[in-house]
Structure 1
Amino acid sequence: AIMKDAVTIPTRKFMTNRPLQRKQTVTGVLHPGKATVPKTEVREKLAEVCKTTPDVTFVFGSRIHFGGGKTAGFGRIYDSWDDAKKNEPKHRLARHGLYEKKTSRKQRKERKNGRKKVGGCEGQRWCRQKEASWPLASRRSKILQ
């Protein structure tokens, strides 16, 4: 009888990849009677098995077997944080919250041109500085109200 709460992570095809300073494995997650296990939990358990910390452990490519209760995926455990940052793809680092994607050039241009189209200049710093230098600025604001 398997406990409903128990989540076990047997590893297969475990190998040490010296050129990339990591250990890699095919992970199986057994979770009978339970929905999919979160990646964070799998990371923590895999790190515990390999006697490292979860911040250098990367889990990806999870596939749930039909009928549930079993998930297969891949795991990578780096020797150090610097090795992980050097060898792991940026999108996976971003999922860990370790990499900030800078806004694309197109987005910056769209934002700039969008600002041009906004009518008036309420609440913008450059506008307030200009208004202060206008003659009869106070009278003008009373007329506009």
Structure 2
Amino acid sequence: MVVEVIHPGRANVPKAELQEKVGKMYKVKDTNTVVLYGFRTQFGGGKSTGFGLIYDSVNDAKRFEPKYRLIRQGLAEKVESSRKQIKEAKNRKKKIRGVGRRIARHKAAKANK
């Protein structure tokens, strides 16, 4: 759904505040099921528009929402790897081409389990 917010005298409205308001409007039990994103403030201020989704449960939200939006909302945690790990993985990838790529991916998946 498209969410329009009129906020004269304020630069913009925090998403947490909007989540609560939208949750009350649609009688949602858990405000974590309300996902708001893509807000743009109109030139001159006073009005913002964005998008919103309401899921039946938190599990549904976790299942269908992109990971970055879950991280922003606090439903998932960002997996951070060190700079050295990223560089080593990049350099390993550069050495593998073609059929060997599939085998390397399979080995990496096994190592993670």
**Which structure would you say has the larger RCO, counting Cα contacts within 8 Å and 6 or more residues apart?**
2
DSSP 3-state at the match of 1:36: coil
Q: Which of residues 24, 34, 58 in structure 1 aligns to 2:35?
A: 58
> CA offsets, 1:51-78, max 9 Å, x none?
1121111110000011111000000110
Cα distance, 1:108 vs. partner? 5.5
- Give RMSD over aligned pairs: 2.1
Separation in structure 1 between the aligned mates of residue 84 and residue 78 of structure 2, nearest angstrom = 13
Equivalent residue pairs, number: 87
Match of 2:71 in 1: 94
Higher helix share: 2
Cα distance, 1:96 vs. partner? 1.3
Cα distance, 1:84 vs. partner? 0.3
Separation in structure 2 between the aligned mates of residue 103 and residue 65 of structure 1, nearest angstrom = 35
How much identity, in percent, do the aligned residues show? 48
TM normalised by structure 2 equals 0.69
TM normalised by structure 1 equals 0.55
Match of 2:9 in 1: 33
DSSP 3-state at the match of 2:3: strand
Q: Which of residues 29, 44, 49 in structure 2 aligns to 1:72?
A: 49
Higher strand share: 1
* Structure 2 counterpart of 1:28, one-letter code: E
Q: Which of residues 55, 60, 64 in structure 2 aligns to 1:83?
A: 60
> CA offsets, 1:73-103, max 9 Å, x none?
0001101111000000000100111111223
* Structure 1 counterpart of 2:55, one-letter code: Y
